[in-house]
Structure 1
Amino acid sequence: MENIDFFFVLRAWRSLADGLLVTLQLTVWANVIGLVAGFLLALISSSRFKLLRIPARAYIDFFRCTPTLVQVIWFFFCVPMLFNVFWTPLFMGLLALGMNLSAFNAEAFRASIQAIPQAQLDASVALGLSPWTRIIFVVLPQATRHAVPVLITNAIGIFQQSSLVALVGVADLMYQGKLLSTQTYRPIETMTFLACFYLAVAIPFSRLAAYLEHRSERFLGA
């Protein structure tokens, strides 16, 4: 224990900062994909038409019921062979994370859409609003407000799961940490630092999600 030195991790801040930038890029863009595609999937999976609803439900079930690690590896190794496309590892990792998050966000949006009072939807129809106008100005704002706590929780999860792309060669924070650990033979300090960093980022957002959920419950109760 006397040989443990955490200060060497700080001396390697440049490589860790490069990895952190990649992790933040993955997290931000995966959330952009997850929010947009998740809302569209929620609408499609609630459709009256089976030809639309069944594929959307199958997509959601697949990404929700299979491990994220398997999805990342499948995209990295199988997509190039099956479809003859060769994207960068960063883009492949982003695609896998974004599609995974969209499935979880779709369920959050779907539950929120179902919570919208039918009277409001009927009123929008009576006012002569077009379907897309109703979606944008009636459904989307209310569904987003009710789903925010779950969306934040899902965003935290994808931030943590972004570390999985290190296994396929994406130079994110975890990848740089593993590299530093191997080069310096100091896995205890490096992995402890990474764990504390992920924890320090996740805890404030988890508290924010709990606070917003509490506010939402009080608003609905009122």
Structure 2
Amino acid sequence: MGYHFDFSFLQGSLGSLLAGLKVTLELALASNLMGLVLGFVLCLMAMSRVALIRLPAQLFIEFFRCTPALLQIVWFFYCIPMMVDVFIDPIAMGVLALGLNLTAFNAEAYRAGVQAVPKEHLDACVALGLKAWQRTLFVVLPQALRNAMPVLMTNGIGTLQQSALVAIVAVADLMYVGKSLATEAYRPLETYTVIALIYFALSLPVARLVHLIERRQDVALKR
């Protein structure tokens, strides 16, 4: 091959890349916060004995798990404004779409964590006379969060990567900025290589932390 890599054209585009990176981090952090909080709430709803609460929650989970994230983003960006006739900030819409998608996946992670809570702990709560909300907040949630942490963090990495999908609806995230630079400079190999390395640099520390947590949990279970 006679192609020669030349990254020098990116020197004048550092500001644009940093601005795109800022949007990507905002999307990822806000979506993860939303997914962590609402995921546990949705988990409790899906495990409820009341059918009117359980069935809609299960339908929500299956819908977001069984449809493409790209389709969800496009639907939120174009269909919701048409339905409610209200303009919503693109970044806020991106957080909503990504956050709800993550909520569904986190709900399943929390469910596995809740089911792993020893029955003896719940019996102790009853013996101590704790109310249902006290049992959920102070006993179930901490243990479920600990049990589900590796999966929750892995889901968070996935959301960071899926945030690149908002580029298709013209949200100026890192991927969108990279696409624009590649088109303007006719240097797609260099541009997308740099973008890929940035995503890799953001994801790798979290992935290593997940591995460390899993090892510690394995050691704790063997004791």
Normalised TM-score (structure 1): 0.97
- Identity percentage of aligned residues: 54
Shift of 1:84: 2.0
Paired residue type of 1:49: V
Counterparts of 1:84-163 in structure 2, within 5 Å, are 84-163=85-164
Gaps in structure 1 of 5+ consecutive residues: none
Q: d(CA) in 1 for partners of 2:199 and 2:35?
A: 21
SS of the aligned residue for 1:12 comes to helix
Shift of 1:3: 3.9
Shift of 1:220: 2.0
Question: Residue 54 of structure 1 aligns with which residue?
Answer: 55
- More moved, 32-41 vs 1-10: 1-10
Aligned residues: 222
Cα offsets for 1:86-145 (capped at 9, x unmatched): 101111111000000000100000000000011101111111111111111101110111
Cα offsets for 1:36-91 (capped at 9, x unmatched): 00000111111111111110010001111111000000000111112222101111
SS of the aligned residue for 2:75 comes to helix
Question: Residue 30 of structure 1 aligns with which residue?
Answer: 31
| Equivalent residues of 2:40, 2:110 under 8 A apart | yes
Q: d(CA) in 1 for partners of 2:152 and 2:8?
A: 36
Gaps in structure 2 of 5+ consecutive residues: none
Question: Residue 17 of structure 2 aligns with which residue?
Answer: 16
Question: Residue 221 of structure 1 aligns with which residue?
Answer: 222
SS of the aligned residue for 1:48 comes to coil
Question: Residue 166 of structure 2 aligns with which residue?
Answer: 165
Normalised TM-score (structure 2): 0.96
- More moved, 104-113 vs 81-90: 81-90
- More moved, 192-201 vs 31-40: 192-201
Question: Residue 187 of structure 1 aligns with which residue?
Answer: 188
Cα offsets for 1:177-197 (capped at 9, x unmatched): 111111111111001111111
Shift of 1:2: 5.2
SS of the aligned residue for 1:124 comes to helix
Q: d(CA) in 1 for partners of 2:41 and 2:18?
A: 35
Q: d(CA) in 2 for partners of 1:130 and 1:152?
A: 30
Cα offsets for 1:20-48 (capped at 9, x unmatched): 00000000000010000000011111111
Question: RMSD of the TM alignment (CA)?
Answer: 1.1
Q: d(CA) in 2 for partners of 1:200 and 1:19?
A: 15
Q: d(CA) in 1 for partners of 2:62 and 2:212?
A: 29
Paired residue type of 1:50: A
Question: Residue 70 of structure 1 aligns with which residue?
Answer: 71
Paired residue type of 2:182: S
Q: d(CA) in 1 for partners of 2:76 and 2:34?
A: 16
Q: d(CA) in 2 for partners of 1:88 and 1:44?
A: 29
Q: d(CA) in 1 for partners of 2:157 and 2:202?
A: 9
